[in-house]
């Protein structure tokens, strides 16, 4: 027997917040590394700064929507399981769209890095 949707959402928000904190710290380390200038004065991969920012902003928006859904599901509605079962709810659709955007952006960066590592071939 599986766990209920309400318990799954509470577990998910805990884990997502934990991983978001790690991601937030790594974002700033990434920015520092990307802004580091070589002796030649050229900033390495400065085109990755907006990509890293897009990833952080989409993760922040996703986490914010999750907190809004937690408040609605457990405080405003009587049955949290029924609330989380509403797939066509606008907040659920927005959360899914942000997730798809985040994953697609990350995958594009990964493909680009593989292209660079393999001597652009």
Return the number of other C-beta atoms located less than 10 Å from residue 71's C-beta: 11
pLDDT tens sequence across 3-61: 998 999 999 999 999 999 999 999 999 888 888 866 556 666 778 889 999 999 999 99
Nearest-CA neighbor of 102 among 60, 73, 41?
Answer: 60
Phi-psi map region of 120: left, alpha, beta (phi>0 left; psi -120 to 50 alpha)? left
Q: Could you tell me if 36 and 44 are in contact, meaning their C-beta atoms sit under 8 angstroms apart? A: yes
The pTM score is 0.86
Cα-based torsion angle of the residue sequence 20, 24, 27, 29 in order, rounded to the nearest 10 degrees: -130
**Would you list the domain boundaries of the chain?**
5-117
Q: Could you tell me if 69 and 95 are in contact, meaning their C-beta atoms sit under 8 angstroms apart? A: yes
């Amino acid at each position: 027997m599986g766990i209920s949707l309400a318990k799954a959402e509470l577990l998910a928000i805990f884990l997502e917040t934990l991983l978001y904190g790690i991601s937030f710290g790594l974002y700033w380390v990434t920015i520092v590394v990307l802004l580091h200038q070589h002796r030649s004065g050229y900033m390495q991969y400065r085109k990755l700064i907006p990509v890293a920012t897009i990833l952080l902003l989409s993760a922040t928006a996703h986490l914010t929507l999750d907190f809004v859904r937690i408040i609605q599901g457990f405080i405003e509605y009587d049955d949290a399981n029924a609330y989380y079962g509403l797939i066509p709810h606008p907040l659920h659709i927005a959360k899914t769209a942000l997730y798809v955007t985040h994953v697609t952006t990350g995958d594009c960066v990964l493909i680009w890095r593989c292209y660079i590592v393999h001597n652009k071939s």
